[in-house]
Amino acid sequence: MLDERKGKILEAIILDYAATAEPVGSRAVSRKYGLGVSSATVRNEMADLEELGFLEQPHTSAGRIPSDQGYRYYLDHMMRRSRLGQAEMRRICDVYSRKAREIQWMLRQTAKLLAESAHAASLAVGPHREDAIFRSLRVLPLEGEQALLVLVGDAGVVEHRILNLPPGMTVADLEVFSAYLTDRWRGLPFRRLASTSVREIYDNLSRYRRMLDDVLDFLRERREREGLETVQLVGASHVLEQPEFRDPAKVRVFLECLEREDLMAELLEQREGSTGVTVTIGEENAYPGLRGCALVTASFGMGGRPKGQVGVLGPKRMEYPHVVALVEFVAHSLTQELGRAFRD
Amino acid sequence: MLDERKGKILEAIILDYAATAEPVGSRAVSRKYGLGVSSATVRNEMADLEELGFLEQPHTSAGRIPSDQGYRYYLDHMMRRSRLGQAEMRRICDVYSRKAREIQWMLRQTAKLLAESAHAASLAVGPHREDAIFRSLRVLPLEGEQALLVLVGDAGVVEHRILNLPPGMTVADLEVFSAYLTDRWRGLPFRRLASTSVREIYDNLSRYRRMLDDVLDFLRERREREGLETVQLVGASHVLEQPEFRDPAKVRVFLECLEREDLMAELLEQREGSTGVTVTIGEENAYPGLRGCALVTASFGMGGRPKGQVGVLGPKRMEYPHVVALVEFVAHSLTQELGRAFRD
DNA sequence: TTTAGCACTGGGCTGGACCGAGTGCTAATG
DNA sequence: CATTAGCACTCGGTCCAGCCCAGTGCTAAA
C-alpha cells in the first residue's frame, strides 16, 4: 500500500501523462498538482516509486511515466469513477432508440459509439451462435424446387439457407418434417443439434432422408464457420492519432493484430466469466501487438447470462475513469435493450 | 500515341518502380531493360516523357516515377494481361468449394483471398438488399406470443425480424396474411414494397392491421439502414507495409478513409455500370485519402445482372497485370459460384 | 524531513561538410 | 541527324559536432 503522498504523486503523473504523452518531471508534479512540497521532495518520492515498480524512466535524464504496475495500482486502489454527462448518456440511449432489432447491426452501432466517445478503437462480439438455444426449425417452400430452411434460437439468433427440395415434397411433408425436428431439438444449444439422437431421427424421418441430410450438412457447415464469429471493430484510426504510434512499425503490428478477427474474438471471449468492467494493461495482454495498449471490456447479456462483450482498445495512458464508466454504461444499456428487443 | 522506344522506356520505369518504390534513373533503364541505347539517349527520352506528362520527378536530381497519366497510358495501351498460375486459380476455387451459401460470408472470404493474393487491401460489397427482388414472405409462429417474420428475395437475400403477435392470432391467420402479401408483392424490388398499393393492402388485411404495421415498420427500418451496406474490408495492414506509407500522417488519412464504410460502398457502387475490370489511379479517385492509391475493381453478378463489386486497393505502383487478372478471375468465379448456390 | 543548490546526463535540434545518384547540356561521333 | 561521351551542377540523405535544456541524483544546509 502506498502512503498518501506517494499515491498523489502517482496519480499526478498518470493524469499528466494521459494529457501530454510526455514523461512527467518532478517540477511539473510539484507545481501543477499542488502538493505543497518542492520538486526535490517529489524527486525522492519518484525514485522510491520507481524502485517499487510503479514508474519507469525512458532514459536517465527524462521524467517518469507510469509502468503497467503503476496503472494497475491506480485502477485497483485509487481511481474514482467518473460519471457520464447527461448529454453523453442520452447519446448512448439514442443509438438504440430506433428499435432496430438486428443484433449485429446493434453491435456495430455500439462499437461506433464507443470508438467515438473514447477516441480509441473499440470492439464488440455478439452472441456465440453455437451457444444459442434452439427454438424452432421450419422449411418454407419457395417457387421452383427451392425452399428456405430457417432455424431460430434465442437472443435473436436466426440462421437460414436455401435448399433444393427433393422432387415430390408437399407442403404437408415440410410441415411434418419441421414439426418433428422442432419438437425433437427444442431447448438444446445449437452446438449439440447435429449430434443429438441422429440415428433415431433418421429412423423417424426416413422418408425425408435427403432433406435431413441437407439440414445436418447446414449445421455442420455452421460449425465449421464457427471460429469466424463476426467481431465488430471500429475506430482503429483513432488510436493512430496517439503519439505513441508515431512509429509506423508499431502501427503495422497493431493493425495486423486487429485484423486477426480470431485473435480479437478470443481476447474478448476470455473475459466471458468475469462480471463488471475488466481492464488489462500492456504486458498483461497476451498478444505482442497489444503491448503498449490497454483494453477495457464489459460483458452484456440476456436473461441473466452473458452473451457477448464490448470493449475499448486504446493507449495505456487513456482516461480510465471516463472509459471505464463509458464501457460499463454501454454494456448495461445494451443488455437492457437486448432484453427489450428479444425478450423470450 | 508514343513511339515504340518511348513506350518501352515508360514500361521499364513502371516495372522498375513497382519493384523498388524508388525513382528510376536513366542508367538503370538503359542497363537493366536492354534497350540497346545509352543512358544519355534514355535521358532525352525521359525528358520528353516528362514534358508529355507521363513521368514526374520528385526533385531535380532524382530519377523519374510514373505519373497518374503514365499509368493510365500503360493500362490502356500497353499492358499485357498476365495469366494466373494454376496453383493460384485452384486456391481461389477452393475458397468457394465448401459450398457455403451465406453471401456475406462468401464475400468476406473473397476479400481475404484478394488481400492475401495481391498483398494489398481489398473490398467487397454485396448485393444491394433494397434492389433484391421479393420472392416470398412468411410469418412463422414461435412459442409465446412471438413470431418470426421472414422475407426472401433473390440472390440469397433473406431478412427477418422477431415480432410480437397481437393476441388471438391463429396459425391459419398467419398463413392467410403471408400468402396475401407474398402474392401481392412477388416480383417487386424490396425498395418499393413499403409503398406499393398500401391502401389496398390495408383494406384487404384490415383484420391484421397491427401485424401489417409491424411488417411495414420493418421495411422502413431496413430502408433507413440502407446506406449502411456491409462492406467487407480486409488487409489494410498490407498496404501499410508499402514504403509510400512510411509517413504516419498518410497512414491516418488512408485508414480514416477506409473506415468510412459509406465512402467505400459509394466508391464501389459508382462502378456498377461498367463491365470488366475498372482501374482508377491516384487523382482519378474522388477521395483525398486515396490519392497515392489505385483501385482495381470488377463486378460480379447473378442472372446476368450486376449484384456487387470486388476490388483491390493498393499503392499506385502495384503490379497491375497480376492484380487485374486476379480481380477479373475472382469476380468471375464469384459470379459462377453465386449462380450455383442461389440459382433462382 | 524537507529543501536549495549544483554537477551531470542524455536526447533532440541545428547547421555544416560530404557523398553520390542522377540530371541537363554541349560537343564529338558514326 | 540521331546517338553518345563527358562534364558541371543539383539536391536529398547521412554523418558529426556543438549546443540547449529538461530533468536527474546527490550533498549540504535549514
Q: How confident is the model at residue A5 (pLDDT cuts 50, 70, 90)?
A: very high
* Residue B344 in this model has a pLDDT that exceeds 60: no
Domains of chain A: 4-78 (1.10.10.10), 86-128+230-342 (3.30.450.40), 130-227 (3.30.390.60)
The answer to whether A269 touches A125, Cβ cutoff 8 Å, is yes
How far in angstroms lies nucleotide C22's C1' from the CA of residue B1?
27
The answer to whether A74 touches A60, Cβ cutoff 8 Å, is no
Q: Looking at residue A238, what is its pLDDT?
A: 92
Q: How confident is the model at residue A101 (pLDDT cuts 50, 70, 90)?
A: low
A4 touches strand C (CB under 7 A): no
Interface A-B: count of C-beta contacts within 8 A: 107
CB contact under 8 A, B259 and A248: no
Measuring CA to CA, how many Å separate B237 from each of B96, B120, B280? 25, 8, 21
* Residue in B closest to A254 by C-alpha: B237
CB contact under 8 A, A148 and B161: no
Q: Looking at residue A315, what is its pLDDT?
A: 95
Q: Looking at residue B121, what is its pLDDT?
A: 96
Residues 47-66 of B with CB under 7 A from strand C: 47, 50, 57, 60-64
Q: Name the residue facing A156 among B135, B150, B162 (closest C-beta).
A: B162
Largest CA distance in chain A: 92
Largest CA distance in chain B: 92
Indicate the angle between helix axes B248-259 and B261-269, nearest 10 degrees.
70
Mean pLDDT value of segment B64-71: 97
Q: Looking at residue A117, what is its pLDDT?
A: 95
Could you give the percent of chain A with pLDDT greater than 70? 97
Could you give the percent of chain B with pLDDT greater than 70? 97
Report chain A residues whose CB lies below 8 A from the CB of B140: 136, 138, 140, 150, 152
A34 touches strand C (CB under 7 A): no
A99 touches chain B (CB under 8 A): yes
B142 touches chain A (CB under 8 A): yes
A25 touches strand D (CB under 7 A): yes
Report chain A residues whose CB lies below 8 A from the CB of B143: 135-136
Report the length, in residues, of chain B.
344
* Residue A224 in this model has a pLDDT that exceeds 90: no
A237 touches chain B (CB under 8 A): yes
How far in angstroms lies nucleotide D14's C1' from the CA of residue B14?
28
Rounded to the nearest 5 percent, the helix, strand and coil shares of chain B are 55, 20, 25
Distance of alpha carbon B64 from alpha carbon B46, whole angstroms: 8
How far in angstroms lies nucleotide C25's C1' from the CA of residue B303?
63
Distance of alpha carbon A56 from alpha carbon A68, whole angstroms: 9
Residue located via cell numbers 392491421:
B209
Number of other residues whose CB lies within 10 A of the CB of residue A32: 12
pLDDT tens, B303-327?
788 888 999 999 999 999 999 999 9
- Mean model confidence pLDDT for chain A: 89
Q: Which residues, 6+ apart, have CB-to-CB distance to A334 below 8 Å? A: A96, A106, A110, A300, A310
Using alpha carbons, select from B169, B114, B118 the residue that is nearest to residue B145.
B169
Q: Name the residue facing B259 among A142, A237, A344 (closest C-beta).
A: A237
Q: Which residues, 6+ apart, have CB-to-CB distance to B204 below 8 Å? A: B180
The answer to whether A295 touches A279, Cβ cutoff 8 Å, is yes
Residue A257 zone, left/alpha/beta (φ > 0; ψ -120 to 50; rest): alpha
A63 touches strand D (CB under 7 A): yes
Q: Name the residue facing A255 among B146, B160, B237 (closest C-beta).
A: B237
A220 touches chain B (CB under 8 A): no
* Alpha-carbon gap: B190 to the closest alpha carbon of chain A (Å): 17
Report chain B residues whose CB lies below 8 A from the CB of A341: 162
Report chain B residues whose CB lies below 8 A from the CB of A158: 148, 160, 162
Q: Which residues, 6+ apart, have CB-to-CB distance to B226 below 8 Å? A: B129, B130
pLDDT tens, B183-210?
999 999 998 998 888 899 999 999 999 9
* Residue in A closest to B121 by C-alpha: A259
B34 touches strand D (CB under 7 A): no
A102 touches chain B (CB under 8 A): yes
Q: Looking at residue B156, what is its pLDDT?
A: 78
A249 touches chain B (CB under 8 A): no
Beta strand spans in B204-302 (E) = 231-234, 277-281, 293-302
- Mean model confidence pLDDT for chain B: 90
Q: What would the grid cell of residue A279 be?
A: 481492464
Q: How confident is the model at residue A226 (pLDDT cuts 50, 70, 90)?
A: low
Residues 85-124 of B with CB under 7 A from strand C: none
pLDDT tens, B116-130?
999 999 999 888 888
Interface of B with A in 251-280 (CB under 8 A): 251-252, 255-256, 259
Indicate the angle between helix axes B248-259 and A248-259, nearest 10 degrees.
20
How far in angstroms lies nucleotide C10's C1' from the CA of residue A64?
15
* Residue B221 in this model has a pLDDT that exceeds 70: yes
Q: Rank A186-190, A252-256, A259-263, B94-98 by mean pLDDT and report only the highest.
A: A186-190
Q: Rank A155-164, A314-323, B137-146, B330-339 by mean pLDDT and report only the highest.
A: A314-323
Burial class (CB in 10 A: 0-12, 13-18, 19+), B185: buried
Higher-confidence position of B269 and A116: A116
* Residue B290 in this model has a pLDDT that exceeds 60: yes
CB neighbour burial string for B101-120, b if at least 16 within 10 angstroms, e if fewer: bbbebbbbbbbbbbbebbbb
pLDDT tens, B138-176?
999 988 888 999 999 887 788 888 888 998 899 999 999
* Residue in B closest to A178 by C-alpha: B140
The answer to whether A296 touches A327, Cβ cutoff 8 Å, is yes
CA torsion A32→A36→A41→A44, rounded to 10°? -60
Indicate the angle between helix axes A86-97 and A103-118, nearest 10 degrees.
160
* Residue A131 in this model has a pLDDT that exceeds 90: no
Q: Which of B240, B242, B337 would best serve as a mutation to test chain A binding (most A beta carbons within 10 A)?
A: B240
Q: How confident is the model at residue A268 (pLDDT cuts 50, 70, 90)?
A: confident
Measuring CA to CA, how many Å separate A311 from each of A115, A326, B79, B315? 9, 10, 48, 32
Higher-confidence position of B75 and A308: B75
Q: Name the residue facing A142 among B140, B152, B248 (closest C-beta).
A: B152
* Residue A29 in this model has a pLDDT that exceeds 70: yes
Q: Looking at residue B227, what is its pLDDT?
A: 54
Q: How confident is the model at residue B100 (pLDDT cuts 50, 70, 90)?
A: low
A201-205, A300-304, A307-311, B224-228: least confidently modelled range: B224-228
Using alpha carbons, select from A189, A100, A175, A152 the residue that is nearest to residue B147.
A152
Q: What are phi and psi of A126, to 5 degrees?
A: -95, -175
B94 touches chain A (CB under 8 A): no
CA A27 from chain centre, in angstroms, equals: 40
CB contact under 8 A, A252 and B237: yes
* Residue A147 in this model has a pLDDT that exceeds 80: yes
How far in angstroms lies nucleotide C9's C1' from the CA of residue A59?
9
Q: What would the grid cell of residue B23 be?
A: 525513382
How far in angstroms lies nucleotide D13's C1' from the CA of residue B246?
16
Residue nearest to nucleotide C23 (CA to C1'): B61
